[in-house]
Amino acid sequence: MRVILALLAAIGAQACMRERTLGAHHDGHIKRQADVTFPPVLDANEQILLDSFDNTSISTWSYYYTHGDHIAGRNKTMAQWTADRWTEYGFASRLDEYHVYLNYPLSHSLLLTYPNGTTFTPSLQEAVLPEDETTGYPNRIPPFNGYSFSGNASAEYVYVGRAQKVDFARLEALGVELEGKIALAKYGGPFRGLKVKNAQEHGMTGIVIFSDPGDDGNMTEAKGVIAYPNGPARNPTTVQRGSVQFLSIYPGDPTTPGYTSKEDSPRADKSNSVPHIPSLPISWLDAQTILQALDGFGTPGVQVNRTGWVGAIPGVNYSTGVGSGATLSLSNIMEDHITPIWNVVGIINGTNQDEVVLVGNHRDAWIIGGAADPNSGSAVLVEMAKAFGTLSKTGWVPTRTIVLCSWDAEEYGLVGSTEWVEEFIPWLKGAAVSYLNVDVAVSGPIPDIAATPDLHTIATSLMKKVVWPYHGSTNNTMYDIWTQVNTGEVGVLGSGSDYTAFLHRGIASIDLGAGSGPTDPVYPYHSNYDSYHWMATFGDPGFYTHKAIGQYLTLLLYHMVSDASLPLEPASYTPELQSYLAELNDTIITYNGTLDLTDLTAAISIFETSASEFNELRDLAISTNDTALLLVTNHKARDFSRGFTSQGGLPGREFFQNLIFAPGLDTGYAPVTLPGITESITFEGNWTLAQEFVGKTADAILVAAAMLKT
């Protein structure tokens, strides 16, 4: 549907809920661009900040975070430890507690029964590896899905591919009966909770989701690559845990939609945002036998002919399996709690307290480790706090207030950050300049960022100041690697990490990290093997990428809080809006409809004029060093993007207020632009609703333009 977005989505692994995907990387000679100086030239404060970064101390923080149970709501000690480190480095730190709905695994089982009565019992476990101590911790967390339904299902099962709406449409076209059956689905594509939602909406009674080596490209045992722990390929017992919340409908505590979760908060019905059928995640090794029982029945995978349908499990043809007579008995019993979670908040007041820059990372992980997701980010944040502590000792004080956030319960559905934003929204709407998110800071060596357009310029230019290690070379800047190994394009924010609540309240946001390319070690996302041992051996030996991404985040924060003229560029929205409009136009043609886009086209044009006027005013403020006028332009840059939000939100999902970008309804991670209009066409087929959202979107753009107007 959208060429630019498809290209960008091809890379990227930094969002905690996003999966490893392969892009068009190359390992050839890296050419330096003409406008990059090497080594980078830094001013005195930048030098102090970057010199403070030490790979060995980052590794110490990483080791701490990856050797204890820190699933959501279960490790207050780790929250306090984080607050203590930040306090030591000069941040006034506190724990913000919320009482939220979470569930933990009690027991589960899965049994395959062949028509002749013979059975197969999948292991449902990841192998304990002597080399990797945390895989054998007695309190290790079994594979399960957060917010999964408690219950049993026993029925014939059908392979449903990646379980997107289009996959189900294809099965229906093939005449496959789904009602009352169990779904067997492959990871990849949409957020897993939406797979469960789609299966549930087709009357299926349970779902089993498996990992597939097909997502690992050439880095597989079948292609001769040795598996973890002895090599970089996926260990065959790897299981991807994760939440099955309906992320594209409502993130946050499912029992308190739209308001914060305090101990005495009223609790709402959660059935619109969590499933009512049980689910379990399994490894490809367990899935192999279960898929084999379907081979020879129904339509073979190649003939189903759907994107991502056929994977690379040896000896399997990914048939739908209709009429196999084989059944699955699935049991998944969870323990429900309303339980405390702890966000850590650390503050250094700026001289100007009505401008606030927030930096966040979540702390909770599905496993004892979590060395990439999320604690590569947590380790980097501690090291960054240390760097600002060092700078503060020179007498430096930020112009704007810095707020560091260590979120809890992100993994269940962005719970800690969403509840916090819901509590502090009046203050944030007034004062927040931007939110910088780092979830998986490092799962590989390739830098990747997604951001609102107003952050593109600063985010791109600061990459030229960071030395970036890449496959043994230390002779490149981050910008060199980003432009030549990644695509050199800033991604559009969808969802899957803690920037979501900020973005949908109109706050400029960026999500950053480093992921893997096709020749890099396979990142064991949400598995026991996302451990300190994996990180130190394969993910980032030497912790050099941790150091580089931390230095980048530090420069970004430093400039956001200290540049006299706030480095946000409203005018960068203009070309982006124009390209989203062109894509919408294509969508309209593809879907054979008509829509009057006059108001939207006019609004974008007015925005363009206002943004140019704003630039002239800001140039004047800068050239005359007029501090009063700079305050005016800084506040306009801070505020204008609030205009892009609408109180009522998108159709059927009130939480999502941003009318320019949102997670796709049936993707969850991947973004859709001008979502109110686009998805009224692509999902609802409701052209009246689409036209209504043309009006709402145009109005929102006019509000943003009016805030910039001088």
Ligand X SMILES: *[C@@H]1O[C@H](CO)[C@@H](O)[C@H](O)[C@H]1NC(C)=O
Residues lying near ligand X in the complex (CB under 6 A) are found at 22, 38, 55-56, 59, 64-65, 67-70, 75, 77-78, 92, 109, 114, 116, 118, 152, 217-218, 305, 331, 347, 349, 353, 473, 475, 518, 542-543, 581-582, 585, 591-592, 597, 601, 625, 627, 686, 688-689, 692
Instruction: State which residue, 40 or 360, has the beta carbon closest to Zn ion.
Output: 360
The token pair at 226 is 């040795």
Instruction: State which residue, 647 or 688, has the beta carbon closest to ligand X.
Output: 688
- Residue 256 C-beta: closest distance to ligand X, Å: 26
373 touches Zn ion by CB under 5 A: yes
- Residue 169 C-beta: closest distance to ligand X, Å: 12
16 touches Zn ion by CB under 5 A: yes
Residue nearest to Zn ion (CB): 16
Q: Indicate the DSSP class of residue 244.
A: -
93 makes contact, choosing from ligand X, Zn ion, none, with CB < 5 to 8 Å by partner type, with none
Tell me the C-alpha distance between 677 and 695, whole Å: 9
Tell me the Ramachandran region of residue 414: left when phi exceeds 0, alpha when psi lies from -120 to 50, beta otherwise. left
Reduce the secondary structure of 122-149 to three states and give it as a string: CCCCCCCCCCCHHHHCCCCCCCCEECCC
Instruction: State which residue, 234 or 503, has the beta carbon closest to ligand X.
Output: 234
Using CB under 5 A, count the residues that bind Zn ion: 4
Tell me the C-alpha distance between 471 and 478, whole Å: 13
Q: How many CB atoms lie within 10 A of CB 429?
A: 15
- Residue 184 C-beta: closest distance to ligand X, Å: 16
Cβ atoms 447, 17 nearer than 8 A? no
- Residue 428 C-beta: closest distance to ligand X, Å: 14
625 makes contact, choosing from Zn ion, ligand X, none, with CB < 5 to 8 Å by partner type, with ligand X
Tell me the C-alpha distance between 306 and 173, whole Å: 12
Tell me the C-alpha distance between 182 and 207, whole Å: 6
Instruction: State which residue, 196 or 348, has the beta carbon closest to ligand X.
Output: 348
439 touches Zn ion by CB under 5 A: yes
Instruction: State which residue, 394 or 623, has the beta carbon closest to ligand X.
Output: 623
Instruction: State which residue, 220 or 483, has the beta carbon closest to ligand X.
Output: 220
- Residue 705 C-beta: closest distance to ligand X, Å: 18
Cβ atoms 329, 154 nearer than 8 A? yes
Query: What 3-state class would DSSP assign to 405?
Result: strand
Burial of 360: CB neighbours in 10 Å, binned 0-12, 13-18, 19+: buried
Instruction: State which residue, 78 or 662, has the beta carbon closest to ligand X.
Output: 78
Instruction: State which residue, 60 or 390, has the beta carbon closest to ligand X.
Output: 60
- Contact partners, residue 324, CB within 8 Å, separation at least 6: 115, 156, 293, 294, 296, 297, 298
67 makes contact, choosing from Zn ion, ligand X, none, with CB < 5 to 8 Å by partner type, with ligand X
- Pairing type for strands 509-515 and 432-442 reads parallel
Tell me the C-alpha distance between 414 and 504, whole Å: 13
Question: Quick one: which of 242, 374, 413, 671 contacts Zn ion (CB under 5 A)?
Answer: 374
- Residue 247 C-beta: closest distance to Zn ion, Å: 13
Helix (H) or strand (E) holding 425: helix 415-431
207 makes contact, choosing from ligand X, Zn ion, none, with CB < 5 to 8 Å by partner type, with none
Residue nearest to ligand X (CB): 68
371 touches Zn ion by CB under 5 A: no
Reduce the secondary structure of 72-116 to three states and give it as a string: CCCCHHHHHHHHHHHHHCCCEEEEEEEEEEEEEEEEEEEEEECCC
- Residue 439 C-beta: closest distance to Zn ion, Å: 4
- Residue 421 C-beta: closest distance to ligand X, Å: 19
Tell me the C-alpha distance between 507 and 632, whole Å: 18
Instruction: State which residue, 358 or 707, has the beta carbon closest to ligand X.
Output: 358
602 makes contact, choosing from Zn ion, ligand X, none, with CB < 5 to 8 Å by partner type, with none
374 makes contact, choosing from ligand X, Zn ion, none, with CB < 5 to 8 Å by partner type, with Zn ion
601 makes contact, choosing from Zn ion, ligand X, none, with CB < 5 to 8 Å by partner type, with ligand X
Tell me the Ramachandran region of residue 298: left when phi exceeds 0, alpha when psi lies from -120 to 50, beta otherwise. left
- Residue 373 C-beta: closest distance to Zn ion, Å: 4
Residues in the chain: 710
Tell me the C-alpha distance between 541 and 539, whole Å: 6
Would you state the torsion angle of the CA atoms of residues 280, 375, 536, 525, taken in this order, to the nearest 10 degrees?
Answer: 20
Cβ atoms 193, 245 nearer than 8 A? yes
Instruction: State which residue, 407 or 693, has the beta carbon closest to Zn ion.
Output: 407
Interface positions with Zn ion (CB under 5 A):
16, 373-374, 439
